[in-house]
Amino acid sequence: MKISDQVAIKAAPVSPVPEEGAASAGREPRAALQLTPGQLLLARVVGMADGGRALLAIQGQTVTAESAVPLHVGDEVWLEVKQGGERPWFALADKKVAAYEVLRAMLADAPALGRALRGLQEFAGLPRSGLAAAPTGRLEALLAGLAAMAMDGRPAPEAVVQLLAWLHGFGNAPGKGQMPQRLDQQLADALAAVRLAGVSLAAGPKAGDLERLAAFLEQLGHLNAQPVSQDQSAFFMFPCFFSGAAGWGEWLVTLDQDGRAGAGQAPTMALEFFLEMSRLGNVHLRFTMAGQAVQGEIDLADDKIRVHVERLLPELSAALGNMGCYPLTIRCHTSPRHHLQHLKEAMADKARLRDSTLFHVTV
């Protein structure tokens, strides 16, 4: 078989390596791999063969594979079955699996994530020094720094840039010869120190909610770091939260890959927000930008809220117009659907999840 990050690679036949000791033990050889297009399989590289071929452990069997991408012994890679049968072929699928994991965490832990992000307001305005003597001082300083990046009614692009840099470990290193830590790593380390000391925060989010938040931020970082395959748009997902515990959610940015825009058309970028707001309820915003042209759609929980937001559209349109956006079209709609339903559909579309089945195989 062959592996590629492209979807138009023909495959060589699967070459199973006989199960060691099967014949002497009187056991029947294992059946051929049962592969269905769309399956997502975890493969582990267990060795290398002649000609640069890799030995992969998949579904309890070891097979030889020709790969167009470098593989090393010990690597674990997620593969998507593109073609089954006697001549199967695969594509790398780490971005799809990462999208599955993020969605699973969102659907399972949304209440805890919401409580953690809303609880940051308790630390707004506190000193952001990490040198506090109390066992909880480091954690409180981290939460105060995160609270300072909450959105409010004023444009604050620098806060957005700082948060994204912190999420992905960019920026100044904490000390000579050290790499900067990502936010999820710092949060997990601070929580571990608090647990070790046997203390808890006097106010703000509970430790369990913060642990789920740290795990979710780690999953987001992993998702954003994965390369996209040929059938996917380039997409990235980030958290957002608002001052005064006004709400929280996620935003998703999608960029056209080369060649995806039509001939003579400007490349497009889509920006979507999936929000749970304290006064507006569930909000879903979609903005598509092609050159200077902007088209926006806003889904709101009920007609009363929709009418209220529609009254504010002239102000929004004027602000975007002052930034050079033209032509500009923004419409509001009433949609009782939860923001997580919108997020699930958007992620499935961007990552092409609809035809995939996930198999996490331990080998």
Domain of 325? 97-358
Q: Looking at 92, 119, 151, which one is the last position of a domain?
A: 92
pLDDT values of the chain reduced to their tens digit, one per residue, 363 residues: 655 543 322 333 344 445 444 444 444 445 567 788 878 888 888 988 887 788 888 878 888 888 777 778 888 877 878 777 777 778 777 788 888 889 888 889 999 999 999 998 888 877 665 545 577 888 988 899 899 999 987 888 888 888 999 998 876 544 444 456 899 999 999 999 999 988 888 888 999 999 999 999 999 998 998 877 777 778 999 999 999 889 999 999 998 754 445 555 667 899 999 999 999 999 999 999 998 999 999 999 999 999 999 999 999 999 999 999 999 999 999 998 999 999 999 988 888 875 544 443 332
- Give the SS3 label for residue 198: coil
Residues 140, 58: one domain? Answer: no
For residue 69, give both structure tokens. 């991408």
The answer to whether 41 and 78 are in contact (CB under 8 A) is: yes
User: b/e per residue, 104-121, with b = 16+ CB within 10 A?
Assistant: ebbeebbebbbbbbbbbb
Give the chain's length: 363
Co-location of 164 and 298 in the same domain: yes
Tell me which of 92, 121, 144 is where a domain ends: 92
Do 323 and 175 share a domain, yes or no? Answer: yes
Residues 78 and 169 in one domain: no
Whether 363 is in a domain gets the answer no
Both 251 and 142 in one domain: the answer is: yes
Q: Are 273 and 280 in contact (CB under 8 A)?
A: no
Query: Is 56 a member of any domain?
Result: yes
Looking at the structure, do residues 121 and 45 belong to the same domain, yes or no?
A: no
Question: What six digits make up the tokens of 86?
Answer: 């006697």
The CATH number of the domain holding residue 32 is 2.40.50
- Same-domain pairing of 128 and 87: no
Number of structural domains (the chain) is 2
User: Do residues 88 and 101 share a domain?
Assistant: no
Question: Cα(112)–Cα(233) distance, rounded to whole angstroms?
Answer: 30
Q: 74 and 127: one domain?
A: no
Note whether 54 and 112 are same-domain residues.
no
Domain boundary among 92, 119, 134: 92
Taking phi over 0 as left and psi of -120 to 50 as alpha, with beta for the rest, 93 belongs to: alpha
DSSP structural state of residue 228: P
Q: Are strands 15-16 and 39-48 parallel, antiparallel or unpaired?
A: unpaired
Q: Please report which residue ranges of the chain form alpha helices under DSSP H.
A: 94-118, 137-147, 157-167, 183-197, 207-225, 303-322, 339-351
Q: Are residues 69 and 122 in the same domain?
A: no
Same domain, 351 and 247: yes
Burial category of 326 from C-beta neighbours within 10 Å (exposed 0-12, middle 13-18, buried 19 and up): exposed
